[in-house]
């Protein structure tokens, strides 16, 4: 297998027979830190970010990293130092962003279920904007802000009823989704927001889904959002910024999503044509910044032949890599050291006691117990969704920067997991 055969990023590549992340041999990291092990490339993250920055060159635009994709503190530091803001969906994520060195004014607060306590803490931190997702939330946020003697800056997340052509679990912009305010109700909601004493309308927001690999859903959503901007401003409610969310897909297998700069050339051309090209623009990418930057290294524990399936049992499991079990998602799986041995077709599975604990089906691999595999494109929605199911400790994480490797999260042990628990007297 050549470097060209690896998806998504040139920063994960073979040198001869051995797999590297940037200048660091993955086998060396596995020996030093054990497995399962998440390893991320700083250069890959900054390269993905640079595509967005090129797309927005010369425009009034800001990128807010959606940290639900991967909220590890050191990764947040990378994006903060590169000038990003942050899109959060919980009070816990707010505290993570602040701990990573960002300011409140760098933060947008999204999500359908913000609590009063979360709203108050965000207002005290001086966040940039709330993306409000229901008319009921408008009322509560106004009450909380007025109680603090403030006016909360708000943008309403509008559901444009556009099919993002992605997995139904990560589609967020259709009528049947829980997110956002229905397109037909948006004008009424903006009138109400403008009338409430604790709110200040500053923008409009739209986010239609995740792992989107075509331009057409974005263009369709943009048209519907701009129609609304015109109608809202005709009511005397100015819209200072347009927030177009995130959702751009990455290469897991054979997908061909548009590059971020190419996508935004198309969208900006349409904004210009409709007279909105000079507006403040905001976007909230997550997966497209970190997904291809990460790999999960795992050890082969056993090879188990069967009548219908051969199983390659590894020490990483669905609690470490939940995407296959949740979405039937595909991740490429490759050996850390290539072999000329004839490959065998395996289902790659973990040790968790669930039939859904699989990482890859029908994979051709030439491996033996004790050898190491890498699950590619594991930078997004893996560690951030990891759990302690079966009392398994979450893996360690390492960030590679050129020839240096930094441990950014230590491996959990059982003592870490039970520290907050109490035995009965």
Residues 210 and 142 in one domain: yes
Residues 169 and 246 in one domain: yes
Compute the half-sphere exposure of residue 99: CA atoms within 13 Å on the CB side of its CA.
Answer: 11
| 103 within some domain | no
Which of 270, 285, 300 finishes a domain?
A: 285
Residues 320 and 353 in one domain: yes
Among 361, 376, 412, which residue's Cα sits nearest to residue 297? Answer: 376
Q: What angle do CA 203, 205, 209 make, to 5 degrees?
A: 170
Residues 296 and 232 in one domain: no
* Number of domains making up the chain: 2
Going edge to edge, which strands form the sheet with 24-25? Answer: 12-15, 18-21, 24-25
Rounded Cα distance, 175 and 173, in Å: 7
What pLDDT score does 356 carry? 93
Give residues with Cβ within 8 angstroms of 364, minimum separation 6. 343, 344, 345, 346
Q: What is the domain range of residue 137?
A: 110-285
Among 323, 312, 314, which residue's Cα sits nearest to residue 362? Answer: 312
Residue 203 is classified by DSSP as E
Residues 251 and 389 in one domain: no
What pLDDT score does 166 carry? 47
Check the annotation: does 381 bind a ligand: yes
DSSP 146-178: HHTT--EEEEEEEE-----SS-GGGB-SSTTSS
Check the annotation: does 328 bind a ligand: no
Check the annotation: does 284 bind a ligand: yes
Mean pLDDT per 10-residue run, the chain (425 residues)? 61 96 98 98 98 96 97 98 98 98 97 97 98 96 98 94 54 57 93 98 91 89 93 97 93 92 94 95 97 98 94 98 94 95 96 95 97 98 97 98 98 97 97
Both tokens of 176, joined, read 């049947």
| 206 given a catalytic annotation | no
Check the annotation: does 42 bind a ligand: no
Check the annotation: does 299 bind a ligand: no
Q: Which residue has the tokens 């965000």?
A: 122
Which burial class, exposed, middle or buried, applies to 191 when counting CB atoms under 10 A from its CB (0-12, 13-18, 19+)? Answer: middle
Rounded Cα distance, 266 and 271, in Å: 9
What pLDDT score does 229 carry? 96
Rounded Cα distance, 121 and 115, in Å: 10
Give residues with Cβ within 8 angstroms of 160, minimum separation 6. 173, 183, 206, 208, 220, 221, 224, 225
| 92 within some domain | no
What pLDDT score does 178 carry? 61
Rounded Cα distance, 208 and 206, in Å: 7
Both tokens of 65, joined, read 């990293």
| 47 within some domain | no
Residues 274 and 134 in one domain: yes
Q: What angle do CA 418, 420, 424 make, to 5 degrees?
A: 85
Catalytic residue among 129, 206, 353, 382: 353
Which of 285, 311, 339 finishes a domain?
A: 285
| 81 within some domain | no
Residues 276 and 327 in one domain: no
Check the annotation: does 286 bind a ligand: yes
Residues 123 and 265 in one domain: yes
| 83 within some domain | no
CATH number of the domain to which 16 belongs: 2.40.37.10
Which of 285, 319, 336 finishes a domain?
A: 285
Residues 298 and 274 in one domain: no
Residues 248 and 116 in one domain: yes
What pLDDT score does 254 carry? 85
Rounded Cα distance, 8 and 375, in Å: 13
Check the annotation: does 409 bind a ligand: no
| 138 within some domain | yes
Residues 228 and 314 in one domain: no
Check the annotation: does 52 bind a ligand: no
Rounded Cα distance, 152 and 146, in Å: 8
| 56 within some domain | no
Q: What is the pTM of this model?
A: 0.94
CATH number of the domain to which 163 belongs: 3.20.20.10
Other C-beta atoms within 10 Å of 270: how many? 15
Compute the half-sphere exposure of residue 214: CA atoms within 13 Å on the CB side of its CA.
Answer: 10
Sign of the CA dihedral 62, 376, 359, 384?
Answer: negative
Residues 226 and 157 in one domain: yes
Residue 337 is classified by DSSP as B
What pLDDT score does 8 carry? 74
Rounded Cα distance, 398 and 400, in Å: 6
Check the annotation: does 247 bind a ligand: yes
> Contact at 8 Å (CB) between 379 and 70?
yes
Give residues with Cβ within 8 angstroms of 139, minimum separation 6. 196
| 59 within some domain | no
């Amino acid at each position: 297998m050549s470097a060209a055969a690896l998806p998504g990023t040139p920063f994960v590549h073979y040198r001869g027979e051995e797999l590297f992340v940037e200048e660091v041999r993955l086998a060396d990291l596995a020996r030093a830190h054990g497995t399962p092990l998440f390893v991320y490339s700083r250069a890959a993250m900054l390269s993905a970010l640079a595509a967005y920055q090129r797309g927005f060159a010369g425009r009034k635009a800001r990128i807010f990293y959606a940290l639900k994709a991967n909220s590890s503190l050191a990764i947040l530091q990378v994006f903060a130092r590169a000038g990003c803001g942050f899109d959060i969906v919980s009070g816990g994520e707010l505290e993570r962003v602040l701990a990573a060195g960002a300011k409140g004014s760098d933060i947008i607060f999204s999500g359908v279920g913000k609590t009063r306590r979360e709203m108050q803490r965000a207002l005290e931190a001086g966040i940039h904007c709330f993306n409000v997702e229901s008319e009921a939330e408008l009322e509560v946020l106004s009450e909380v802000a007025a109680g603090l003697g403030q006016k909360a800056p708000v943008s309403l997340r509008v559901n444009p009823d556009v099919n993002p052509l992605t997995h139904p679990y990560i589609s967020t912009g259709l009528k049947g989704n829980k997110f956002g305010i229905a397109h037909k109700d948006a004008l009424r909601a903006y009138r109400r927001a403008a009338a409430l004493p604790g709110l200040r309308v500053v923008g409009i927001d739209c986010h239609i889904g995740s792992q989107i690999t075509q331009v057409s859903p974005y263009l369709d959503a943009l048209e519907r959002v701009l129609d609304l901007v015109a109608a809202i401003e005709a009511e005397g409610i100015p819209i200072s910024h347009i927030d177009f969310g995130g959702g751009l897909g990455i290469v897991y297998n054979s997908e061909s999503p548009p590059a971020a700069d190419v996508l935004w050339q198309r969208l900006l051309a349409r904004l210009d044509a409709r007279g909105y090209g000079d507006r403040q623009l905001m976007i909230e990418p997550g997966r497209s910044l970190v997904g291809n930057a990460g790999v999960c290294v795992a050890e082969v524990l056993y090879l188990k032949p069967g009548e219908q399936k051969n199983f390659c049992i590894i020490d990483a499991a669905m609690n470490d890599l939940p995407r296959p079990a949740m979405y039937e998602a595909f991740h490429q799986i490759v050996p850390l050291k290539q072999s000329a041995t004839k490959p065998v077709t395996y289902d790659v599975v973990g040790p968790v006691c669930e039939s859904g604990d699989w990482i890859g089906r029908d994979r051709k691999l030439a491996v033996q117990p004790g050898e190491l595999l890498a699950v590619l494109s594991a930078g997004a929605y893996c560690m951030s969704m990891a759990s302690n199911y079966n009392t398994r400790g979450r893996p360690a994480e390492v960030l590679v920067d050129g020839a240096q490797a930094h441990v950014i999260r230590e491996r959990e042990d059982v003592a870490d997991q039970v520290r907050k628990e109490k035995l009965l007297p």
